[in-house]
Structure 1
Amino acid sequence: MLIEIRETPFDPLAELSRYQAKPDLHGKAGALASFIGLMRDHNEGDQVSAMCLEHYPGMTEREIARIIDEAQVRWPLLDALVLHRVGEMLPADPIVLVAVWSSHRAAAFESCRYIMEALKSRAPFWKHETLTDRGRWVDRNTDGY
């Protein structure tokens, strides 16, 4: 399992490929499910030109680890990867990569969604958006459906 909070941009597909090349994963997984979250240029009906994402170092990683532990109790996972961006971002920038490996697709799909939804609702991140005429802190996450 790997959890990283990064202040610099990352290429989710390159990171996924690099992580999957680990010898202890080679040939073991029958399924890989992943989710890549990108910054949108709009939110709540407003245009968003930039965003700053803040976190509480240490606390954020511990909460994500708890979420992954919960997923491992519910589904037979072989491994999990969560990379999350913090700092200044622009529209289309990758924000988050969640990936899980399992022997079977159902466990991979369901656990990936569980981790992502729990991360959005429980991990301590704070979002400040830059709009055309002002900035604002985001109180809540948008509905994921």
Structure 2
Amino acid sequence: MTIDMNTLDKAILNRIQTRFPLTSRPFATIADELGSTEKEVLTRVSRLKDAGIIRRIGGNFVPGKVGFVSTLCAAQVPEEKLDLFARTVNTFPGVTHNYLRENAFNVWFTFISPSMTIIRDNLAAIAEKTGVRRILNLPATHVFKIKAKFDL
């Protein structure tokens, strides 16, 4: 779905990327800041999400600080299985996102879990459900957080 974004859409996207309001009605707070209404902001956020411009709105946590582990995974997925593989991976709790790369290992995704054992078990289940056997598990040894903010 392609949509035209106006000034308010861009202002909303700029605003929700950092310092998301921790209030009982965060979209009302954002609306007040932008001179709009809560209903209008919610409608626009929903439309931007439906169009795939917004993937998710949520907190980012350092896994180790909350007792979790994280890993980066790379899979060698035949083109005819790309859709099945992505859909399957996305059903597992702890998968934050996945993306295509131009490489023999063409699907990459991150996995966060209470233990590496759970991640290994989930990777085995993904392999079983999709028939994709070449999945690398690349656990994080050092975490580097890069703030990605897109100024619209």
Give the helix-richer structure, 1 or 2.
Answer: 2
Normalised-by-shorter TM-score class: 0.3 to 0.5
Query: What TM-score do the two structures reach when normalised by structure 2?
Result: 0.34
Greater Rg, structure 1 or structure 2?
2
Give the strand-richer structure, 1 or 2.
Answer: 1
